[in-house]
Structure 1
Amino acid sequence: MKKVCVIGLGDISSIHINALKKLGNIRISAMCDIDGTLKRKYPDYKFYSDYREMLEKENPDCVHICLPHYLHYKVAKEAIEKEINVFLEKPVGIDVFQTNKLLEIEEKNPHIKICVCLQNRLNRTFEKMMEFIKSGSYGKVKGIKGIVTWNRTDEYYNLKPWRKKMEYSGGGVMINQTIHTLDLMQLIGGKIKNIKGVTVNLEDHDSEFEIEDTALAKIKFENGIEGIYFATVTYSENSSVELQVITEKAKFTIKDSILTISEKNGYKKILAEDDKLEGTKFYYGASHEKLIQKFYKCLETGSDDYIHVKDAVPSMKMIEMIKKSSGKIIK
């Protein structure tokens, strides 16, 4: 039975903990957070306020890192140095530099497994879409569209001020809310030729707000596919993410967690629907659990069939390219 620890008990941690509780081959031995009041939330587990002390005393087989972005690389590195497997919430780090540093560590430690939580790859709708695309039955892919229109008020940022500081978050809507969309777009499109994009703030934020609330980009892939990406957290509510792929013979659209196909003869059909996550965080999707189950199976069998640090590099590079672009083409 694998011994597991959780570091960071913020919003996303409950998704991890609930998924871990459903696994029969693991035991949560301890949790850690600098906020001591959170001990009351999980009275059945040992609680630490210092993750280094926890790692030393518990010596877990795996640790789940659910911390603010700026701590991801640092804590993951320390866990790996102690020969502990890591399940790391996105993003890998606050920038490409940290991402590449963790990639180096991954390559030097092939016996340690590091899974990055880009769980939307396992959404039933996306898996089915990729099946159709890879089959070639509907011709080559011509275009990809990714749209995210969500809502994040100033209260959201003021509740956890690190979110609005570049040195702590690494950015706004791109790295925090829509890195999954960029990840899926690059999985479909392949290697990127160039990007031309802009970032902007559509809301009037306070003087401490250093990140972007809106981003737009035209993405050109080396194989000729073209993509359009638009993301904002200034909409009136959390609207459905939309991912659309145009092929030579059909249009595939994921919206409201449903995949549909529209053929040129007017035929339209529902192909798949995602599992739903209950509660107010429904927009997270339900694939955290699928990825966590998959990762622990890999820990048992020795398989490498999980999402590695190297898999997370392209979306981080896309974010950096859009930041640098400011309307210029970045290759």
Structure 2
Amino acid sequence: MLKVAIIGLGTVSKVHSQAILETHNGKLVAVCDSDEEKKEDYPGIPFYTDVAVMLAAEELDVVHICLPHHLHYPITKICAESGVHILQEKPLAMDYHEGLLTAELAKNVPGKIGICFQNRYNSTFQELLRRLKAEDHGAIKAIKGLVAWNRTEDYYTDKPWRGKWATAGGGTIINQAIHTLDLMQLLGGELQTCKASLSNLTDYAMEVEDTAVANFTFENDVRGFYMSTNAYATNASVEIEVVTEKCTYMIKNNQLFVIDENGDFESLARDQQRADTKSYYGPSHGIIIQRFYNAIEHDTADYVSVEEALPSMLMIDAMKESTRLDQTIQMVDLIKESKIGMY
């Protein structure tokens, strides 16, 4: 049985703790947070306020990092160098350069570092991938990703790190819609160009953007259109659309549809929903956590690695830089620079 700890006891940590409980080979043995009041949420579990103290006191196999974005790399580094395996919540890092530092770290430590892009394992997306590989639909021509959600000003003022470039690394692009960016690049392949605009439709007292639109070009001239906002009236369904030469696939309302050349819809798959978590978290935290534990026990690479998570950071940096310069960004130039200035 793997001995597991959670570092950072905010909202998403409860999703992780429930998923750990449901695994067949993991046991939560410690938790860590700077806020001692969080101890009450985990009765009977050893509680720590210092990561180094916890690592020294507990014989851990795995830590889950559920911290604010600016703490991901430094705490991942401490834990990785202590020899434990790490499952880190998204985003991978604050920017692409820091993501590269994490990738280098992953190559030189004994443990595995996995990134929690759980929506890759949703039934709808898995079936979409299967059909794109197996069906005679012709080449992919275009990909669309839409996220129209709502966040009140309290969302940012209650946890001020969320509204600052220095601690969040962005707004909707890195917090709410990074999963959509990740799925788009999985479908589209290698990134080529980006033209984007980041802006604010709300009047909240915050630095980061609440709205983003972008055109991406992927390999084989696949066109990508992306839009995300936290300025909508509610949390609408995330939408992913893939246009091929012969049909269109669409994920919406937790279902995968195929639309034929006559415009007829057919439902192909549906995601299971959990009543004990927020709907927009998706149903697949348990799947990705179980896969990571299995990869540890059997020493396989069947998890989302740091290298696999890097393209999402590249997309985010490209949108920032495109907005700053008001021009199309060539991804090859961005990769060469490896460090982008703050938007």
Tell me which interval the TM-score lies in, with the shorter structure as reference length.
over 0.9
Pair 1:159 & 2:161 matched: no
**Displacement after TM superposition at 1:280 (Å):** 6.1
**Displacement after TM superposition at 1:304 (Å):** 0.7
What TM-score, normalized to structure 2? 0.94
**Displacement after TM superposition at 1:249 (Å):** 0.7
The one-character-per-residue Cα deviations of 1:271-292 (angstroms, maximum 9, x if unpaired) are: 0001113246111101111000
Q: Could you say which residue in structure 2 is the equivalent of 1:183? A: 182
Query: What secondary structure sits across from 1:172 in the alignment?
Result: coil
Structure 2 residue runs without a partner (length 5+):
331-343
Counterpart residue type for residue 3 of structure 1 = K
Distance 1:157 1:149 in 2: 17
**Displacement after TM superposition at 1:202 (Å):** 0.7
2:278 to 274, 277, 281: 281
Q: CA contact under 8 A between 1:146 and 1:243: conserved in structure 2?
A: yes
Q: CA contact under 8 A between 1:277 and 1:284: conserved in structure 2?
A: no
Distance 2:242 2:23 in 1: 35
**Displacement after TM superposition at 1:210 (Å):** 1.1
Query: What secondary structure sits across from 2:259 in the alignment?
Result: strand
Instruction: Indicate the percent of aligned positions where both proteins have the same amino acid.
Output: 44
The one-character-per-residue Cα deviations of 1:286-309 (angstroms, maximum 9, x if unpaired) are: 111100011111111111111000
Pair 1:265 & 2:265 matched: no
Distance 1:81 1:279 in 2: 35
**Displacement after TM superposition at 1:133 (Å):** 1.0
Matches within 5 A, 1:1-331: 1-109=1-109, 111-206=110-205, 209-279=206-276, 281-326=278-323, 327-331=326-330
Distance 1:250 1:117 in 2: 31
Distance 1:250 1:50 in 2: 54
Query: What secondary structure sits across from 2:43 in the alignment?
Result: coil
Distance 1:193 1:74 in 2: 30
Q: Root-mean-square deviation (CA), in Å?
A: 1.0
Query: What secondary structure sits across from 2:44 in the alignment?
Result: coil
Counterpart residue type for residue 33 of structure 2 = D
Distance 2:267 2:63 in 1: 39
The one-character-per-residue Cα deviations of 1:144-190 (angstroms, maximum 9, x if unpaired) are: 00000000111000010000011100110000000000000000000
**Displacement after TM superposition at 1:267 (Å):** 3.3
Structure 1 residue runs without a partner (length 5+):
none
The alignment of Structure 1 onto Structure 2 pairs a total of residues equal to 328
Distance 2:284 2:309 in 1: 17
Q: CA contact under 8 A between 1:298 and 1:304: conserved in structure 2?
A: yes
Query: What secondary structure sits across from 1:176 in the alignment?
Result: coil
What TM-score, normalized to structure 1? 0.97
Distance 1:2 1:71 in 2: 24
Query: What secondary structure sits across from 1:34 in the alignment?
Result: coil
